[in-house]
Amino acid sequence: MSAAVSVVALSGGIGGAKLALGLYHTLPPNSLMVVCNTGDDFEHLGLSISPDLDTVLYTLAGVANPATGWGRAGETWSFMQALGQLGGETWFRLGDADLATHVERTRRLAAGEGLSAISDDFRTRLAVRARLVPMCDEPVRTMVHTYDGILPFQRYFVERRCAPKVSGFEFHGANEARPTPSLREALASERLEAVVICPSNPFISIDPILAVSGMRAAIAACRAPVVAVAPIIGGRAVKGPTAKMMAELGIPASARAVAEHYGGLLDGFVLDAADADQTRVIDVPCLATRTLMESEDDKRTLAAGVLAFARRIGETTR
C-alpha cells in the first residue's frame, strides 16, 4: 500500500493533526502518510504512551475529543478516579477508552511487535485510510533543558505546564534510531508529490522527527518539494508553547524565524496572510493564506492550498 503514498506529512499532536485531517479529506484514500513525532512518548503507570500518534489516530478516525483536541470523544473517567483513590499518579489524564490503546500497545510491544506495525494495525482497525507511522521504531525521548534542570518531556509539558524557561532540547536515542522502512520507502518513491511539515511546534514536535538518524537526508533527497506551514500567526502561537519557547530561546516569535529554523530543508513555506509582509525576507517560495484552522472547512481549504502550492513548486523546479 505504501507504493500509493503521494504525500508525507510530518506532525506532532493537536496542531499538526488538524492539517493532517485536512490532507486526509482532500487526498484520495491511502495516498497520505502521516509521520508522527514519538519524542513525546513515555512510560507511565507501566504503560507505553504515544500521545502524538494517538492524537493523529483519533483525529483521522473521527473519534477525537473536539473540545480538547487530545483523547477520545465521549470519554469516561472511571479509571482516573479509582486510581486516585488507590494513591496512583493522576497528573497525566488517561480516559477509560483511551487506556485501551495504551494497554494493548504495551502488551504488543512487550510481545515483540514494533511500534510501526502496531500503529498500522490500530489505524486499520479504526478504518483510517491513511498510513500512520511513528518516526522510528526505536525509543527516542525528548529531554527539555530548562532553568529548573533537565526535564523529561511530559514532566515539562503536562506536569509543569511548560512553566520552566527552556534553554534547549535533546532527543535521547535519535542517533541510534532510523526512519521506519515504510517511511523510507515513501520518501524514496517516484510517486511522492509533497512532504508537508505541519504547523506543529518546530522544537518539540518536528525537530525530534528530523533528529532521527538519516531522516533529514532522506527528506532532502526526495523528489518532491518540502513545504512547511508556520505555526505562528502574527507573532503568536495558535496553541501551545511555541511562541513562549522562541522568546526563551532568544528567537523572534515570527513565521520567518520558523522558516529559518527549518533552513535548507524547505522548498516552500506557507504562512498566514497576516504575516504576508514577511514573504519578502524568506528565501524560499512562499504562500500567504489563511492558516488558522477553526472549522473542518478551514482544514480542507488550507490542505488543498498547501498541496496546490507544492504542485506548483514541483512543476517549476523539475
Retrieve residue 8's grid coordinates: 508525507
Strand runs labelled E in the chain:
7-11, 32-36, 42-44, 47-49, 131-134, 141-146, 149-152, 166-172, 194-197, 226-229, 232-233, 236-237, 268-272, 286-289
Q: Does 46 bind its own copies (CB under 8 A)?
A: yes
87 binding its own copies? (CB under 8 A):
yes
Convert 10-34 to b/e letters by CB count within 10 Å (16 or more is b). bbbbbbbbbbbbbbbebbeebbbbb
Pick 56 or 255: Cβ nearer its own copies? 56
45 lies in the site for its own copies, by CB under 8 A: yes
The answer to whether 233 and 49 are in contact (CB under 8 A) is: no
# of chain residues touching its own copies (CB under 8 A) = 32
260 binds its own copies (CB under 8 A): no
Q: Which of 30, 68, 106, 301 binds its own copies (CB under 8 A)?
A: 106
Residue 75 or 185 having the CB closest to its own copies: 75
Closest approach of its own copies to the CB of residue 81, in Å: 7
With CB under 8 A as the contact rule, which of the stretches 119-127, 247-255, 270-278, 307-315 interacts with its own copies? Answer: 119-127
**91-121 as b/e, with b when 16 or more CB fall inside 10 Å?**
ebebbebbbebbeebbebbeeeebbbbbbbe
53 Cα distance to chain centroid? 8
From residue 195, how far is each of 87, 228, 313 by CA, in Å?
Answer: 46, 8, 12
The verdict on 107 binding its own copies (CB under 8 A) reads yes
- Angle between helix axes 96-110 and 78-85 (nearest 10 degrees) is 80
Toward its own copies, which CB reaches closer, 80 or 251? 80
Closest distance to its own copies from the beta carbon of 83 (Å): 4
Can residue 91 be called a binding residue for its own copies (CB under 8 A)? no
* In the complex, least distance from residue 122 CB atom to its own copies, rounded to whole angstroms: 6
Our CB check for its own copies shows the closer of 127 and 263 to be 127
Tell me if 126 contacts its own copies by CB under 8 A. yes
Binding residues (CB under 8 A) for its own copies: these are 45-47, 72, 75-76, 78-83, 85-88, 95-101, 103-104, 106-107, 110, 121-122, 125-126
